[in-house]
Every structure is written in C-alpha cells, then in structure tokens.
C-alpha cells in the first residue's frame, strides 16, 4: 500500500460522488480549512462535480497567508541587518511586506537562506558563532513541534547567536472566529488532517457542540476529500453535529503525545494577529519565559513595528470564505504571482494561487453571501 495512488482512484471517486449526490437533499455550505485541501479540490475539479446545492468554501488554513503583514515587516527589518543570517522556509520569500519581500532583501545584500528544517538553522548558528542566526517560525500546529525542538536544542547547546521570529497560529480559534460572526453561513468543516495528526481532535468537540456544526477530520487526496464530504453531508442531512475522523490512517484522538509535550515545554498560548481576521485571542504560540533569550522580536527590538494592509487587496475576505479569489477586483490585474498584493497569491497553499494556477472564474453564488 502506497497511501497515495489508492486515494486518487478514479472509480472509487466516482462511487463516492454518486453517494454524495444521492445523500444531498438540500443546500449546504461546507468550509475546508486547509489550503492544501483547497488546491486538491480545485485541481481535481471536485468543487464542480458535487451537487449544485453543495457549496465548498475555502478557509484560513494557509499558514503563510494568515501571517500578519506586521510580522512580515518585522522579518524584513531583521533580515536586512548586516550581521544577520535569516533562515526561512522557501514559501515565505515571496510574501510581500509593506514595500518589499525577503527575496528583495537578499538581492540588496541581506543573507537570507532557505532551509528545509528549523534544525538546519541551529546547525548554521553553530557554524557561524560570530553571526546572528534567525529562523522565521511560521505555521500551524503541524510545524510548531519542529521549531520547538530547534529552540529546545539551541538552549541545551547554549547557542547565544540563535533566535526565532515566531508567528505560529492555532486552527480552532480561527474556526470559532468565523462561526461567531453575524454573517457566518458555514454549516460544517473539513478539518485539516495534518494539524490533527499532531494535536488530535478532542478540542473540536466543544466547537461542534457549541455551534452545532459537524467537523470531519479529512486528508488531502481526492478520495480523502470526497469521503470527508460524504461523512459531512450525512451528518448535516440527519441533524447530527459530531467530530468524525476520515483520516484514520494518520490521526489518533489524542494526537502525537511526544510532539504535544515539546510544544507545551517551549510554547505558551497567546493572542495573535491574523491577516484578514485581526487579533484573535489565544490563537497563537509564543515562547515561554524560559526561552525568551531566543525571541528575535525582543532581541532585535522590532515589537513596535506595525503595518496597514493595502486597501485594494481583499485577501482577508478570501481567508474568511466571504468571497472567492476571482471576485477581488485586483485578482489577475493588480495582483498576479509576479506582482502579488497579498500572500494568498504566492503561497503554495493560497486560494488565490490555486485559482490563478487552475484558471478558475466566477460561476456559483452562495445564498446569503457575495461568493459565487
């Protein structure tokens, strides 16, 4: 078993689509949380194959996209300093700040490096003891254990030249923020399987019960998503609102306990600004006081950096599922992959990038919203 090919099986997908069509009797609106799921849905055309009344709305589950503009500007300010080696995953380099991005900082002489693991940044710090090495710690609960391990190791190695600019965010508070708005039309969620692989899914039960919405933990291949949609509409049609696990080959109820333990040791929950959603209480991870010596915001005194997002960019509405990317007037004109206004156009998980890459245009309208 390869755990890939069988989840792209066309005949199995057709059978699941047939079951979905026979199950749906009324309009429903479902949000897939993860940007990786969005790309699979758009690439495979699932959103156009499901019954007309079944609406799939794209959520804020792209970690690059929800990283606030002010945090990007802080990264740029640190990366431009002469003694700094700034390390980041590659998908952050083209995310626009107020006036430039990390690629431009590198072109201007900044030492900006792509790494494939936070531990690479720790190694670089050991190899360059006379340089300040900063890692840009971005992501949901999925990537946070690796960054926690990096700073944990740096402390034990007594590395005085290593720090992290932390921008980690948590999924459940964003889902609750969407559900709590007066304009909310989301009736169910497909939860991100990789996040739940780390954290489990017990925390979703409170959301499901409080807001009476089904939540189905779902994988990322076409068959995963179709089975997750089927499980979701079965709940909706029967009036249930439970947490179910489609991604059982990877996710356990309790999650990954060693990963959760390292998170608890290094990080504490804090308020965090999100692009398009504002400051969400208890929606981020910050370094605990025992690790404050490794906090790049404190070390480089960039806490006061603020930023205002460009008015012509409606990525915040896209991330909340209020509009589709191609309903933004800047989409494909002022905002393209070569000249992006916001992160969703350049992130590998961004909804705007998916619509650009797969040539989507307006076609369906969701009742009660401006989405088509």
- The end-to-end CA distance of the chain, in Å, is 39
Quote the crossing angle between the two packed helices 144-156 and 118-127, to the nearest 10°: 20
Angle at 359 between CA 215 and CA 19, to 5 degrees: 40
Q: Are residues 241 and 94 in the same domain?
A: yes
Count of Cβ atoms closer than 10 Å to residue 95 Cβ = 28
Q: Are residues 236 and 326 in the same domain?
A: no
Q: Are residues 226 and 350 in the same domain?
A: no
Amino acid 126: pLDDT: 98
Residues in a beta bridge with 218 = 192
Q: Are residues 253 and 321 in the same domain?
A: no
Residue 268 placed within a domain: yes
Residue 367 placed within a domain: no
Task: State the residue range of the domain holding 256.
Answer: 1-313
Q: Are residues 257 and 195 in the same domain?
A: yes
Exposure b/e, 175-193, CB count within 10 A at least 16 = b: bbbbbeeeebbbbbbbbbb
Residue 287 placed within a domain: yes
Residues in a beta bridge with 163 = 134
Q: Are residues 154 and 6 in the same domain?
A: yes
Ramachandran region, residue 113 (left: φ > 0; alpha: ψ -120 to 50; beta: rest) = beta
Q: Are residues 320 and 223 in the same domain?
A: no
Q: Are residues 233 and 322 in the same domain?
A: no
SS3 letters across the chain = CCCCHHHHCHHHHHHHHHHHHHHCCCCEEEEEEEHHHHHHHHHHCHHHHCCCCEEEEEEEECHHHHECHHHHHHHHHHHCCCCEEEEECHHHCCCCCCCCCHHHHHHCCCEEEECCCHHHHHHHHHHCCCCEEEEEEEECCCCHHHHHHHHHHHHHCCCCCEEEEEEEECHHHHHHHHHCCCCCCCCEEEEEHHHHHHHCCCHHHHHHHHHCCCEEEECCCHHHHHHHHHHHHHHHHHCCCCEEECCCCCCCCCCCHHHHHHHHHHEEEEEEEECCCEEEEEEEEEECHHHHHHEHHHHCCCCCCCCCCCCCCCHHHHHCCCCCHHHCCCECCCECCCCCCCHHHCCCCCHHHHHHHCCCCCCCCCCCCCCC
What is the greatest pairwise CA distance in the chain? Answer: 66
Q: Are residues 351 and 262 in the same domain?
A: no
Total domains in the fold of the chain: 2
Q: Which residues neighbour 118 within 8 Å (Cβ) at sequence distance 6 or greater?
A: 135, 137, 146, 147, 149, 150, 164
Structure tokens at 79: 């990366």
- pTM of the prediction? 0.92
Q: Are residues 216 and 348 in the same domain?
A: no
Q: Are residues 247 and 337 in the same domain?
A: no
Residue 1 placed within a domain: yes
Residue 371 placed within a domain: no
Residue 365 placed within a domain: no
CA dist 309 to 68, 94, 99, 313, Å?
9, 16, 11, 8
The per-residue pLDDT string of the chain (372 residues; one tens digit each, 9 = 90 and over) reads 566 788 999 999 999 999 999 999 999 999 999 999 999 999 999 999 999 999 999 999 899 999 999 999 999 999 999 999 999 999 999 999 999 999 999 999 999 999 999 999 999 999 999 999 999 999 999 999 999 999 999 999 999 999 999 999 999 999 999 999 888 999 999 999 999 999 999 999 999 999 999 999 999 999 999 999 999 999 999 999 999 999 999 999 999 999 999 999 999 999 999 987 889 999 999 999 999 999 999 999 998 998 888 888 998 899 988 999 999 999 999 999 999 998 999 999 999 999 999 988 654 333 333 333
CATH number at residue 100: 3.40.50.11740
Edge to edge, the sheet with strand 188-192 lists: 54-61, 28-34, 188-192, 215-218, 243-245
User: Torsion angle, CA of 185/365/336/170, rounded to 10 degrees?
Assistant: 10
Report strand pairing: 84-88 vs 28-34: unpaired
Residue 94 placed within a domain: yes
Q: Are residues 242 and 346 in the same domain?
A: no
Q: Are 329 and 312 in contact (CB under 8 A)?
A: yes
User: Torsion angle, CA of 42/30/342/300, rounded to 10 degrees?
Assistant: -120
Residue 289 placed within a domain: yes
């Amino acid at each position: 078993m390869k755990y890939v090919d069988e989840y792209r099986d066309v005949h199995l997908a057709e059978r699941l689509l047939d079951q979905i069509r026979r199950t749906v009797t009324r309009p429903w609106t479902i949000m897939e949380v993860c940007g990786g799921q969005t790309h699979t849905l758009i690439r495979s055309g699932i959103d156009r194959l499901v019954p007309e009344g079944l609406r799939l709305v794209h959520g804020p589950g792209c970690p690059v996209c929800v990283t606030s503009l002010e945090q990007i500007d802080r990264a740029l300010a640190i990366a431009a300093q002469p003694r700094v080696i700034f390390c980041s995953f590659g998908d952050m380099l083209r995310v626009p700040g107020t006036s430039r991005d990390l690629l431009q900082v590198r072109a201007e002489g900044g030492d900006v490096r792509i790494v494939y693991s936070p531990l690479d940044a720790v190694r670089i710090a050991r190899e360059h003891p006379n340089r300040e090495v900063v890692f840009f710690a971005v992501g949901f609960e999925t990537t946070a254990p690796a960054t926690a391990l990096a700073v944990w190791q740096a402390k034990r190695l007594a590395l005085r030249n290593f720090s992290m600019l932390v921008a980690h965010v948590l999924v459940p508070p964003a889902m609750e923020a969407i559900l709590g708005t007066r304009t909310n039309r989301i009736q169910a969620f497909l939860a991100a399987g990789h996040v739940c692989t780390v954290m489990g899914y017990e925390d979703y039960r409170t959301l499901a019960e409080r807001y009476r919405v089904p939540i189905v933990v779902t994988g990322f291949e076409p068959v995963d998503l179709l089975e997750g949609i089927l499980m979701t509409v079965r709940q909706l049609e029967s009036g249930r609102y439970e947490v179910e696990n489609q991604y059982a080959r990877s996710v356990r109820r309790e999650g990954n306990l060693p990963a959760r333990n390292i998170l608890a040791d290094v990080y504490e929950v804090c308020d965090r600004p999100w692009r398009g959603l504002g400051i969400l209480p208890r929606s981020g991870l910050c370094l605990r006081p025992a690790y404050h010596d490794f906090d790049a915001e404190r070390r480089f005194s960039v806490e006061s950096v603020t930023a205002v997002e460009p008015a012509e960019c409606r990525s915040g509405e896209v991330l909340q599922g209020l509009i589709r990317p191609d309903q933004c007037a800047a989409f494909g004109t002022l905002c393209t992959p070569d000249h992006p206004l916001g992160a969703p156009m350049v992130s590998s998980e961004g909804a705007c990038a998916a619509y650009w890459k797969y040539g989507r245009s307006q076609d369906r309208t969701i009742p009660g919203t401006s989405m088509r």
